[in-house]
Structure 1
Amino acid sequence: MLTKFSVTAAAEKFMRRVVRFSGLPSSAGFRLLVRTGGCSGYDAEFSAEVEARTGDETIEVHGLRIFLPAESRVLLDGLKIDFIETPDRSGFAFIKDDQRSVVAVSADVARIDVSAIGRG
């Protein structure tokens, strides 16, 4: 199944930063796991990965490789992925373009494992 979604400049910038500061080779990608759950309806987890895992679909956005597991592909189909920062929260927003409404905001950005951020 070919997933159709869009990524805003803010979301792309955040994803690129995660990959860049992961300490992995520049060819690494961004893995996004989206599941139903959480208080907003969706829960998102992410990591920088050298390669896609078995079952992941690789989608390229302006040279950025995004790895999506099957569950994520189903949930993201037809949505816009944005990254929102406010004084009290930050995270991904999943927006239905046709309705101009936010489906969910995942504030799980705070779950970045500091040990995964390389120096250099």
Structure 2
Amino acid sequence: MTAQVSVTPSAEKFMRRMVRFSEQPGGGFRLSVAPGGCSGLASSFSIDAAPQDGDTVLDVNGLRVFLPAASAALLDGVTVDFSDSLAATGLRFIDPKQAACGCSSAASAPPAMASVSLDSLRRVSRA
């Protein structure tokens, strides 16, 4: 079974920039997600030269996106978006199947939103 994952143009642009500025130009964007609290999904990413065994490989207009098997299952039917606002910057996961959380800590957060930390990025010097 192949995961049906949609990637918005803004998420594609973000992913392409991460690949372009990484130490793996020509690599792919590895996206890992796990169930996580009120936001729905906790995520992380890396840039890898090639997919790992068992990965689902998405072709997003020539950009390779690597999804580990568990992540592909969680992202099936989900739209991956990128948000850059005062309230949140990062990847967002829009899941039409997810109900809003009822706890008070999620009152101001939209359902199915997770952010990816950009703290690990560094500029690559070209000698």
For Structure 1 versus Structure 2, the TM-score category normalised by the shorter chain is 0.7 to 0.9
Moved more, 87-96 or 16-25: 87-96
Greater strand share, structure number: 1
1:118 matched to 2:103: no
Counterparts of 1:103 and 1:59 in 2: how far apart (Å)?
Answer: 25
Look up the SS of the partner of 1:114 in the other structure.
coil
Q: How do 1:1-120 residues align onto structure 2 when only pairs under 5 Å count? A: 1-26=1-26, 28-96=27-95, 103-111=111-119, 113-115=120-122, 117-120=123-126
Q: Deviation at 1:88?
A: 3.5
CA 1:41–1:96 in structure 2 vs 1: closer, same or farther (change >3 Å)?
closer
Q: Deviation at 1:105?
A: 1.5
Q: Deviation at 1:25?
A: 3.0
Look up the SS of the partner of 2:59 in the other structure.
strand
Q: Deviation at 1:42?
A: 0.8
Question: What 5-or-longer segments of structure 2 have no aligned partner?
Answer: 101-109
TM-score (normalised: structure 1): 0.84
Greater helix share, structure number: 1
Look up the SS of the partner of 1:52 in the other structure.
coil
Larger radius of gyration: 2
RMSD: 2.1
Give the AA of the match of 1:47: S
Q: Deviation at 1:32?
A: 0.2
Q: Deviation at 1:118?
A: 2.2
Counterparts of 2:43 and 2:97 in 1: how far apart (Å)?
Answer: 22
Look up the SS of the partner of 1:15 in the other structure.
helix
Deviating above 2 A after TM superposition, structure 1's stretches of 4 or more consecutive aligned residues are 96-99, 108-111, 117-120
CA 1:104–1:119 in structure 2 vs 1: closer, same or farther (change >3 Å)?
farther
Q: Deviation at 1:39?
A: 4.1
